[in-house]
Chain A
Amino acid sequence: MNATADRLVPSLGTPAVAARDSGALSTLRRSVSLRLGIVVILAVFAVAAAAPAIAPYDPIANNLRVRLQPPSSAHIFGTDDFGRDVFSRVVWGTRISLLVAAIVVTVAALGGAVVGLVSGYVGGRLDDVVMRIIDVLLAFPALLLALAVMAALGSSLVNVILAVGVAFLPRFARLQRSVVVSVREREFVMAAVALGIPRLRVLWRHVMPNCLAPVIVMSTVSAADAILVEASLSFLGLGVQPPAPTWGAVISDGRSFMQNAPWISGLSGLAIMGTVLGLNLLGDGARDVLDPTLRGEGVEARRDS
């Protein structure tokens, strides 16, 4: 009955709550979040794909005759101090944000999978050492770690992806390992080993599939995080370099004009909020549908940026 509210708030981990709430109606209600999230994210993808068609102007062409114009029918988000159309910049920025999020999550999930699977499956000394390193890395806020990497490598799109990817890898490794450790001693894995199936094959065919659900949930939530961290780096001027239209950079450009031209930062931020909201809805929904045991691990635990 009370599913919607529960879906919005993962509990600190009571399966009992989930059990009491599992009725037909609650399943339907629960998926509202998932469906809403899917719709939002599909829309964002559509905008990214159709950016050239949707954006009315060139996102990086200056037009000094229309500097700092308030929103109008010609420029629905107004223009910035170079006379660039803010809406067009935001639309093109979608591509960069999604690209960064997608690659970062893929790299972090795959890297984390390898580290977590091997560490958890082999166990012993290796596992101890690897997990201590992961613990240390997890203690860094993602933004601090990403900033440190950017400081050394310098600003560029590739380095942003690398920096955020490095910052996100530990959480995936930790998650994968915890699943592997819980699965390792189960009968079907023991049976596979007893049958003489090679270790790698056991890992791939019998252990790996059990990790999928939690990893999908973690990926959605991390994509939201990646977008926030990328935007933060760009906002600090340490991300993808200008004049590339990234969401963080557009907001940063508008900073100095907050008093007289608040639309630049004000309206462009809606793009980040909408996308991250969509991913958060997706994450909340996916968690409940795919893996009720993960409640409380997702949106709450990941907030370290």
Chain B
Amino acid sequence: MRRFLVRRLLLLALSVLGAVTVAFLLMRMIPGDPAQVILGDYATKESIAALRRQLGLDRPLYQQYLSFVTRALGGDFGSSLVTFRPAFFEVRSVFGYTIELALAGTVVSMLVGVPAGVLAAVRRNRPLDYVTMILALGAMSMPVFWLSLLLLFVFSFLLGWTPSMGAGGDGGFVSRLWHLALPALALGLSMGAMVTRMTRSATLEVIRQDYVRTARAKGLREGLVIGKHALRNAALPILTILAINFGIQLGGTILVEAVFARPGMGSLLVSAIYQRDYPQVQAVVVIFATSILLVNMLVDLLYATVDPRVRL
């Protein structure tokens, strides 16, 4: 276990360094002089020179890289070129919104996907199974932003049940929850399709095992066979799905936040790209990627801890 842990932590450190490097390269990939690009065609020579100094572009490349890495690892990405506040603080102030959306989306996808997958597996090759699988394939093929718009149309405009935008930050807990409902549903349904397919195959695999046949042969009621013998053994793969799911959900939040005009890391990233606020883009990319890397590592550890079959 210890060797596994050390190796996994090393990989994490390396990956975070990789994310920081990608963010650094981002600025270097800008065609031409980044300071000129950021300030536009009408900038004076002095202001360009000043910005170059501020971004450290006047120093040799390796120095730029080293100083970027050391500062970034300490959470210092410089100041946003738009708000002039530290880019790290800007990310921190919206971080919670994205995490809460990803968590809520994960919950929805499990609530939809696990029962649907188990049901489809139990009713294998019957109409219910086919319908579930066709729906799942259909939902997987929908762009999540389109699904979001459709839900918005039905629940906000047609039925008037839910608020259509924002996160309801000032309205207290209930308002915040209410604003979360549609975005979480959109994200959750989109992901739920995948969870359904994976749960179904995980359950199918277990149902074929000998001990399930034995339980049936003993004359146990089908509900008990599935509930007590099959599901318990399918729980592990399903747990893994849940965890992997969460990491993927984090990526999906970018589009959902855009549709519902929700604050969050995705919205921050997109607006920073629009405004050519490169320090802000770098900060979001690094923190976003690091969050996903952390979740992935936790999944691996969880899996290794829970499943005795994973040799450490």
Contact = CB atoms under 8 A, between A and B. Distances in A.
Interface of A: 1-2, 4-6, 8-12, 14, 16-17, 132-133, 135-137, 139-145, 147-154, 224, 228, 231-232, 235-238, 248, 251, 254-255, 258-259, 262, 265-266, 269, 272-274, 276-277, 280-281, 284, 296, 299-300, 303-305
B281 to A, nearest CB: 5
A305 B251 contact: yes
A7 to B, nearest CB: 9
Contact of A139 (B25, B136, B254, B292): B292
B124 A5 contact: yes
B142 to A, nearest CB: 5
Contact of B288 (A2, A144, A150, A237): A144
Contact of B22 (A6, A148, A237, A248): A148
A170 to B, nearest CB: 11
A269 B255 CA distance: 15
Interface string B240-252: 0000000010111
B201 A12 contact: yes
A141 B285 CA distance: 11
7 contacts: A2-B124, A11-B201, A12-B198, A17-B205, A136-B19, A139-B19, A303-B194
Given A8-B133, A235-B143, A281-B137, 20 more contacts: A9-B200, A12-B198, A12-B202, A139-B15, A139-B18, A140-B292, A142-B251, A144-B251, A144-B288, A147-B270, A148-B22, A148-B26, A152-B26, A238-B273, A251-B146, A258-B152, A259-B153, A265-B146, A273-B142, A277-B141
Contacts of B27: 152
Contact of A4 (B125, B157, B204): B125
A33 B198 CA distance: 18
Contacts of A284: 137
B233 interface: no
Nearest to B25: A152
Contacts of A140: 19, 22, 289, 292
A274 to B, nearest CB: 8
A131 B192 CA distance: 31
Contacts of A259: 153, 157
B238 to A, nearest CB: 10
Contacts of A6: 204
A55 B8 CA distance: 54
B197 A5 contact: no
Given A8-B197, A11-B205, A139-B293, A303 B142 contact: no
Interface of B: 11, 14-15, 18-19, 22-23, 25-27, 29-31, 120, 124-125, 129-130, 133-134, 136-138, 140-143, 145-146, 149-150, 152-153, 157, 194, 197-198, 200-202, 204-205, 208, 237, 248, 250-252, 254-255, 258-259, 269-270, 272-274, 278, 281, 285, 288-289, 292-293, 296
Q: Is the interface of B mostly helix, strand, loop or mixed?
A: helix
Nearest to B276: A151
Contacts, number: 182
B207 to A, nearest CB: 11
Contacts of A305: 251-252
Given A132-B14, A231-B143, A151 B281 contact: yes
B254 A9 contact: no
Contact of A273 (B15, B133, B141, B288): B141
> Which of A140, A148, A237, A296 has the most B CB atoms < 10 Å from its CB?
A148
Nearest to B273: A151
B37 to A, nearest CB: 9
Given A17-B208, A304-B248, A9 B133 contact: yes
A232 B255 contact: yes
Contact of B205 (A12, A149, A248, A251): A12
A139 B138 CA distance: 26
> Which of B23, B130, B285 has the most A CB atoms < 10 Å from its CB?
B285
Contacts of A11: 201, 204-205
Nearest to B292: A139
B143 A272 contact: yes
Contacts of A277: 137-138, 141
